[in-house]
Structure 1
């Protein structure tokens, strides 16, 4: 029985080793990463992948909204200065080694059988896969909402951690590059619900990894100040309100948690928000 369990857990190790080879083997010479222990290979893969994803997604989105579609989305006097964006990049790059440590530790915990993760969808079937994934996302949304809210409500946490992110509180200072401009501890805490939910609900390993990287893209998107008006998505319009009032719209992917806990504020008209619900 123990041998069977060990063989199953080895599937997770094989999968992470495969991702390591794809990223590190493509970008680095073998001598730079192959001698490293598996854990450090995984961290290096997450660090390089996370950094590339941050710069690629934020740069392309800035190019699109500030140059190609400037007259459509953002008034000229609301475009963030280069200085503001460089400051945001500085904070993000400084925190990236720590941000990427969380998914690395999470993968290590999964590989050692401490979570409810499963390796393939065939292990549970497609219907349970979708049900578990939905529950996982609800737990993540709930966890991120309360983690974010506590980072505001507990004054020492706000002062020493979250206040760094709220230096960007106007449209002409917020940019996609602000999405990962956090104090390193704040950045890790904000993503912790993704890891904690794995101890509660069965989750497909590959889907979990994909959602961690979707998280990075999403945080870039909700700092572009463009209100997409797609209910119930917590778009940049809602998140821009959060950066100006500090007391509303703590949610991440949707507005549901803010609606449930009384902190929702519509980016256009508060009365419209009440009518929607």
Structure 2
């Protein structure tokens, strides 16, 4: 166990040095305890990812492709996007605490995480990733649904995110505009899965940060219509009806538990009502 512990610590220390040495003077981080270095690395990387993905995507859909993907009257105001950034920035120190805690547990050998493929073949590796994602999808679905169904949780946590309830109030920056505890709760299934499924450390960390890109994508109001992906079309319905499409990456959980609402069928219903 000690050897495995040292292996994990060596790897996470390497990641810390890569990020922190390029962003901060050594005097600001080298004397910090390992856990705080890990949190600082995640915090800085999370902010960079949030702003780069958000600004690039907004520039592309609201300026380069104006009126192509999103009608002009559905583009959120700069004030709305700045408010979303403000909410996300208040929560970011707490969001990035979760991966730091998960790395701490991994480093101490409390999870099923591993760092090498010495004892696994590629088939098992991908099988475990698929199982991990199924568990994450299942967990996020039920956490998200409970945040809606429980009035106390909705009022004090999830309502912060659902003030963005129309196309012209949703933007990629809304993807992380949550109450800090709300955002953490919806990411906890990633950590719980570590105790159930064997997963590579890099895979776990990558999937946590992919969350930032994915949440930006599903708040841009563009319906990609790629089955079974839970695209922005589905998630926009979630923001307008409050009782459909709780899933994360796919529509499978909503389909299984009867909460699915297809944006294409919704458009057909609206068209039929208008033509009557």
Q: Normalized against structure 2, the TM-score is what?
A: 0.96
CA distance in 2, matches of 1:10, 1:123: 18
- The residue aligned with 1:197 is 193
Call closer, same or farther: CA 1:92–1:116 in 2, change over 3 Å: same
- The residue aligned with 1:171 is 167
CA distance in 2, matches of 1:129, 1:71: 43
Alignment of 1:15-30 (within 5 A): 15-30=11-26
- The residue aligned with 1:228 is 224
Alignment of 1:96-245 (within 5 A): 96-245=92-241
Call closer, same or farther: CA 1:200–1:249 in 2, change over 3 Å: same
- The residue aligned with 2:56 is 60
Q: What secondary structure, in the 3-state scheme, does the structure 1 residue paired with 2:166 have?
A: coil
Is structure 2 residue 252 aligned with structure 1 residue 256? yes
Q: What secondary structure, in the 3-state scheme, does the structure 2 residue paired with 1:117 have?
A: coil
Is structure 2 residue 55 aligned with structure 1 residue 72? no
Q: Give the drift of 1:123.
A: 2.8
Q: Give the drift of 1:121.
A: 2.2
- The residue aligned with 2:38 is 42
CA distance in 1, matches of 2:119, 2:239: 43
Residue segments in structure 2 that go unaligned for 5+ positions in a row = 269-276
CA distance in 1, matches of 2:113, 2:264: 41
- The residue aligned with 1:275 is none
Does the CA-based 8 Å contact 2:4-2:109 persist in structure 1?
no
- Output one character per residue of 1:117-150: Cα deviation in whole Å (capped at 9) or x when no partner: 0111233221110111000000000000000000
Which of 213, 222, 247 aligns to 2:243? It is: 247
Q: Normalized against structure 1, the TM-score is what?
A: 0.95
CA distance in 2, matches of 1:82, 1:270: 29
Is structure 2 residue 18 aligned with structure 1 residue 8? no
CA distance in 2, matches of 1:238, 1:245: 11
CA distance in 2, matches of 1:90, 1:122: 45
Does the CA-based 8 Å contact 2:230-2:247 persist in structure 1?
yes
Q: Give the drift of 1:70.
A: 1.1
Q: Give the drift of 1:169.
A: 0.4
CA distance in 1, matches of 2:260, 2:176: 23
CA distance in 2, matches of 1:113, 1:123: 17
